[in-house]
Chains A and B, each alone.
Chain A
Amino acid sequence: MRGYAGKFLDIDLSTENIAQRKFDEEILKRYVGGRGLAAKILWDRLGKTWETVDPFGPENVLTVLTGPLTGFFPGARVCVSGKSPQSNGMVGSTVGGQFGVDLKCAGYDGIIISGKASKPCYITIFDGKASIKDAGHVWGKDGKQTLRILTEEGRQELKEIFPKHGELKEPQVLYIGPAGENQTRIAAVMEKWTHAAGYGGYGGVMGSKNLKAIMAKGLGPLPEVEDIDKVSDLIDEADRKCFKAASFRRWGTGAAGYAVGAKTSSEPVRNWQEEWHDEKSFAVDKFEQKLWVKRYWADYGCPTSCLKIATPKTGEFKGCVTDNPDYELQAFLGPNLGIYKPEDNVYLASTIDDLGLCGIQGGNTMAFAAELYQRGIISKKDLGGIQLEWGNTKAFGELAEKIAKREGFGNVLAEGSYRAALELGKKKGIDLTQYAVVEKGMAIGAHGIRSGRDFASIMSYACSVQAGDHTSLPSEPTEHENSEFSTILDDSGVYCTFNTFSMNIDMIWGFFSAVTGWTDLRKDWYETNALRIVQLQRAMLLLGGPDLKWKANTDDDNPARFYEPLPSGPYKGKTVSRKLFKEQKLEYYEAVGWDKEGLPKTDVLKKLGLQDVETKLKRAGVL
């Protein structure tokens, strides 16, 4: 097998048993790695009891997986998954950095974690050897301090293990902040201060397992590939193409905080009450000139460097650091909260990152609360004295801290907008879910669908097996470079989708065959493999539970807000047509082999060899 280290770690935190596991080549070829393989592992381990598995219970399984292309394809990432405390399905959630590379260099393609440690711990994987260590001293620490302390500790230990080696590069760390420790449903798995696997809520899953961090360091090379000269040529070619994307290289997604509001009118403004703004104070030149101290920041092997480091050097937010902020955090912690000052945006992004909250989920939840405040549904008293007015930056900072620590009203919001809406709605006797702009318990990305000018289509969030995840949206499943099946491929090969934008699909498959040597994978992928992953994820999503279950068709719908007409901007009055939405949804159902009710057809499941899925869905009363 080429491109794979060939081994996985299987760690039970309850018994502290650390085992190694291998997968047959046929399984890897089918599911590749990352998201695809996570679907397979989770289904095999939890499928039978899925609806009773508590995402925060020791029975949940957390996977941290690389893919064969991790480290070879420009822009390395790692994919975190498990049963999601947001959607109750499974979400493949990826994060950039060198962690996946070091894991492979240490001899492992991934880590499968189950059980619950008796006290706070972290896992180290140093060149083949995995250990479980005490994390009492970093429990409660924010992101920056956690990374500082653990990096230092890891380096010390490496010096002891390899005393004669000279200076070794630092180990790579995946960690959680207080939001994960306190098992909020909207916590991310963090890397490098600002990098987050946010969708899915796996920070809370780590917290529920008393797992503060995972540290990896490998001294070995990346695994053998089929044709290293070809890989090297492809890297050169990818570089040449990505270097041409001049505006993306210069501004990354940082120009979108203004442009997606002003131009495409699809940015969340005050909890999506509007999707348009023309606040030039928030244009990218202000971020660039006032705050960026590093214009090109990149993850392993990336030619694009869409990240930029922003920090105010003076004023009250001195010392706050974040990247860009990237578009999602610009939007969700900017206009979505009525904030249009770059410094304030950096402060909130930095605060959210330090707390280990997901910027999208956190920003969405705080805006949901602010709208309730605007409408007089909750008061300053409810909020423990916080005046949650739009644009009140410090108030949102305080609220984020309360959410991460589950203090006072923060405890309600720590459940995320949707569950908070249900709980508060019950108390107040009003339907508050209309203000929760979410899809199946997950905040959607900052790309609205009403103006029709952004990339998300009107059925894409509603039909997604990843719920609100904007990075992998349903589309016609044909062999096309923009197809959903190709983003599933990215998240299963585990590399950065952004770098694929400059390439054509042949190049991506060129990487796959040069690394793995599998020349027939391409055909299988679009005909069966990707579809199989979709069906597994769909099955887990529909089984749901234990707290919430989704009904196919009925719950495959857009947030209520998207049926309100846009109140402002160049697309004022535009909204989503329910008739058109229904038509497109049925077309998608048909394309992926679901019946008119959105249920996987039994013959499709059989053809994909998923008879056990059919059996389970029937037994659970879903089919």
Chain B
Amino acid sequence: MPSKKRIWIARDFLKCSGCRKCEIACSLHHEKRIWPEASRIRVFMLVPGAEVPHLCVQCEDYPCVKACPMGALSTSRKTGAVLVNDEKCTACGVCIKACPGKIPHLHPAKKTILICDLCDGKPQCTKICQKGNWDALEETTRSSWHVYKVHARKPEEITREVVRNLYGEAGEAFI
């Protein structure tokens, strides 16, 4: 039985300090290293001030899982997170193309893809963000009516909007 209360990591870009503590926590948890590009969550800073934490949103229809030709991707019954079977994954990158937000990325050193696994229901990134009272990432309960897929967007797209929000129309010159 899938748990009724699945979590979702809500993100508030305007509150992201850009400290990258989420990346540090994520890569320490998964890789036992501090490794910015091997972190499942990555904070993009295409324009200073507009820091964009980028991580899987768990689309309702999981286009990445559907697209995987190797059957390497599945979803967790417990959390709804996308799970990667490293043995099966060939790092072909088909899932990246399938993702509307281009969120999956290759592991820099291993032949596999990196996708947020929600730390099996206890995400390390939100933990540190909450401890620090930044609240850019927040563990919420996934709602049955909300369409989460709309949040799967490329860093550039999000940046453009955040810049405008932060700096007003003058921000157009920064993008």
Interface residues of A (CB under 8 A from B): 71-72, 98, 101-102, 105, 144, 147-148, 151, 155, 162, 164-170, 192-194, 218-222, 228, 232, 235, 239, 243, 293-294, 296-303, 305, 309, 311, 313, 318-319, 321
Contacts and interface: CB of A to CB of B under 8 A. Distances in A.
B18 A219 contact: no
A167 B105 contact: yes
Contacts of B144: none
A299 B18 CA distance: 6
A135 B96 CA distance: 33
B2 interface: no
Contact of A296 (B28, B96, B134, B154): B134
A371 to B, nearest CB: 34
19 contacts: A105-B36, A105-B37, A144-B173, A165-B106, A166-B104, A169-B36, A170-B45, A218-B36, A219-B108, A221-B33, A235-B24, A243-B131, A243-B132, A293-B49, A294-B166, A297-B49, A298-B18, A302-B19, A309-B166
B175 interface: yes
Interface in B127-175: 128, 131-134, 154-155, 166-168, 170-171, 173-175
Interface in B87-142: 91-93, 96, 102-106, 108-109, 128, 131-134
A144 B18 CA distance: 18
Given A101-B36, A221-B31, A301-B19, A169 B44 contact: yes
B37 A169 contact: yes
Contact of B167 (A165, A167, A296, A319): A319
A220 B96 contact: no
B21 A301 contact: yes
A311 B109 contact: no
A220 B35 contact: yes
Interface string B11-31: 000110111110010011001
Contacts of B40: none
Nearest to B108: A219
B47 interface: yes
Contacts of A220: 35, 37, 108-109
Contacts of B174: 144, 148
Given A165-B105, A167-B154, A296 B46 contact: no
A305 B19 contact: yes
Contacts of A228: 28, 32-33
Residue from A102, A194, A311 whose CB has the most chain B CB atoms within 10 Å: A311
A301 B19 CA distance: 5
B106 A164 contact: yes
B38 A303 contact: no
Given A221-B38, A296-B15, A301-B21, 9 more contacts: A166-B96, A193-B49, A219-B37, A219-B108, A220-B35, A305-B19, A313-B170, A319-B171, A319-B173
